[in-house]
Amino acid sequence: MKPDHYDPIAAGLKEDIGKGDITTEFFVPDTLHTTGRIVAREKAILAGTGAAAEVFRQVDPSTDIQIVRRDGEEVVAADVIIELRGLARSILTAERVALNFLQRLCGIATITRQFVDAVGNQSAKILDTRKTTPGLRALEKAAVVAGGGANHRFGLYDMVLVKDNHLATFGGLSRFADRIRQIRQDRPDIRIEVEADDLEQARAFVEIDGIDVILLDNMTSAQIREAVALRRNNIQFEASGGITLKNVKRIAATGVDYISIGGLTNDARAIDIGLEMTHVPG
């Protein structure tokens, strides 16, 4: 299990620097001060500016770091994101790890914003999943929020989500309903979601008290619409599986409350962002 004190930035620096930045030590004077700018090279939604800044801070706390553009903002090519002033050695040593975080997280925020925009005026919220990079979940889920999406459960410990493999171990719907009641009694604060693979399961789950959300997995728009029409009490519906930018608006129009998309983190492309050294005194 990941310890509570786990620091992905420290881990990334340890992985990259190891026993020292040999190239910088041999080619860059140890007293040389410089200024630099982290610059976007394409249109994107920002995320991870704080993580990038923390990379430079951990390498050298004396580096002056100014975040010019904030998470959630849209940038275009040549926009300055972060300005840096300090020792050239420190800035160069931190460069790659800082850019790795920033490029990855901006990619997640950017694809999330594309899905949010594609939904248009429909009320469905775009959710992430647990399909994240091990050790980077908090940063990647924050990037989803920066892009205008919302977070699903963070881990196995903060929500019940009964999927098909869980159901395969259970013997009958009556026992399942009893277990839902037990969870609701023992953990009244816990959100309970169950996955339905077909309309028959959705109809059965709607009749069970205590379920908060029914996840409609890999269903067509017509099937989702039919399932949503079964709504009773305050139950909510989530669509997942096979969601793309081409069909997400159609899925949202069915009346579902949530659309969860693993591709927000799985399919995100790193955004082109670079560091430009703008002044090195002679």
Cite the active site residues.
96, 131, 163, 195, 217
Dihedral pair phi/psi, residue 67, rounded to 5°: -80, 115
- How is residue 175 written in tokens? 């026992």
Contact call for residues 149 and 116 (beta carbons, < 8 A): yes
- How is residue 237 written in tokens? 């519906």
- How is residue 276 written in tokens? 């430009």
Q: How far apart are CA 158 and CA 148, in angstroms?
A: 22
What are all long-range contacts of 158-165, with beta carbons under 8 Å and residues at least 24 apart?
A: 158/190, 159/190, 159/191, 159/192, 159/193, 160/187, 160/190, 160/191, 160/192, 160/193, 161/193, 161/194, 161/195, 161/215, 162/192, 162/193, 162/194, 162/195, 163/195, 164/195, 164/197, 164/217
Q: How far apart are CA 124 and CA 261, in angstroms?
A: 12
Give the residue from 202, 259, 252 showing the smallest Cα distance to 231: 202
